[in-house]
Amino acid sequence: DQQVKQNSPSLSVQEGRISILNCDYTNSMFDYFLWYKKYPAEGPTFLISISSIKDKNEDGRFTVFLNKSAKHLSLHIVPSQPGDSAVYFCAASAGQTGANNLFFGTGTRLTVIP
């Protein structure tokens, strides 16, 4: 039972354009969401998070949007750079457990074309 879904396994974007990575979830109790980036042969690296009390969180080129009614979140990267090419995972937790008990999506491979 996949509670966090990333339905696009891959995405290609031109350098300088916006990358939009999407994530859907089914558990309405999820209240904390994180995005991780993973390069080959490395562990996932934390990018940005958002609590369910917000609908947007921004950190430099990265912005996460949360639509609770649609159970949907997205990660926007603008402008996209070749170094952003990686696999991006979204993760969620419930019950105000913060970054404990994370449920992960299957990842989206982003390729930024120079």
Partner 1 sequence: GAVVSQHPSRVICKSGTSVKIECRSLDFQATTMFWYRQFPKQSLMLMATSNEGSKATYEQGVEKDKFLINHASLTLSTLTVTSAHPEDSSFYICSAKALAKNIQYFGAGTRLSVL
The amino acid that residue 5 corresponds to is K
Residue 76 — φ and ψ, nearest 5°?
Answer: -105, 130
The encoded tokens of residue 42 equal 């490395």
Q: Give the up-direction half-sphere exposure of residue 95: CA atoms within 13 A in the CB hemisphere.
A: 5
The least distance separating partner 1 from the CB of residue 106, rounded to whole angstroms, comes to 5
Which positions lie near partner 1, rule CB under 8 A?
Answer: 2, 4, 32, 34, 36, 41-46, 49, 89, 98-107
Which residue lies nearer to partner 1 by CB, 87 or 112? 87
Which residue lies nearer to partner 1 by CB, 13 or 90? 90
Which residue lies nearer to partner 1 by CB, 5 or 76? 5
The amino acid that residue 59 corresponds to is D
